[in-house]
Each structure stands twice: as structure tokens, then as C-alpha cells.
Amino acid sequence: MKKCHLSLKIAHWVTPDLLVVLKCEFSYDPADPLAVTLDLDTDGARAVRWIFCRQLLADGLVSRVGEGDVVLWPLLDDNGERSSFCLRVGAGEHVALFEVPAAPVGRWLARTWAMVPSGTELEGVDWNELVQLAE
């Protein structure tokens, strides 16, 4: 089954007064149905990769979610619409804050749900094989 990709530009808030526009890519692989991958600064010399839960990303479009290394929350525009969302990654002194447009990510997520619907992600798991590997 094919992977699903989304390339777009996002804002990296270096400080509250300084933002840098970065190219990033979200990707989804049905072979790893619970996860999404985000590659940041894909045009740069050293892209950074984060892998986190697809449902966490979906929930972050509508409410504040996450603990630890990945936290997301929606931002409202002047009309009260959810136009973008914040993504904070990292911990301690090594934290980065990004602002991501919500609409293209929402459409991309819809394509991933069409590939592997919510609630069916673990249907193909061979639990006996996993138990054998764990022993």
C-alpha cells in the first residue's frame, strides 16, 4: 500500500518576535498505522524527524493535547476559526515551537483515515508472532 505525504511551509517561532519559514513533510505509512512522521526543514542540510501518534495530531487540530516531547493546540483566527495549530516538540532547554496551517493537515489526515480507518489500525497485527518475539 502506498504512503501518504503532505509537503508544506510552516513557521518556526525561534523567539516570540522572530519566525523562520521552514519546509516540512508529513508522511503516513499504512505499515505503521498508528504513527505519522514529520520531517522538519526538508530543504536544509540537517532535517529533523519526529514520529508521533496520528490520533494525537488529529486531536491537536481541535484541542490542546500531548504531554512530554510533543504538545499540540489549535490557534484561532480573527473570526474564531481554527486556522492553524501550534506544535511544540522537545523537552527542557531543547524545545522548538512551530505554527502549522490546519486546513491542509486536516485534508491530509482525512486521506490517511481513508487508507486505514480509525479503530482498524491493529486489525492486521499477528499477536501470536509478537508474543513469540517478546519471549
> What integer pLDDT is reported at residue 119 of this predicted model?
82
The pLDDT tens digits of the residues spanning 70-89 come to 999 999 888 888 899 999 99
Q: Are strands 48-53 and 70-76 parallel, antiparallel or unpaired?
A: unpaired
Question: Structural domain boundaries of the chain?
Answer: 4-134
> What integer pLDDT is reported at residue 1 of this predicted model?
66
Grid coordinates representing 61? Answer: 487540530
**C-alpha span between 131 and 135 (Å, rounded):** 6
Residue 63 · residue 55 · CB < 8 Å: no
CATH code at 4-134: 2.30.31.20
The model's pTM is 0.85
CA end-to-end distance (rounded Å), the chain: 30
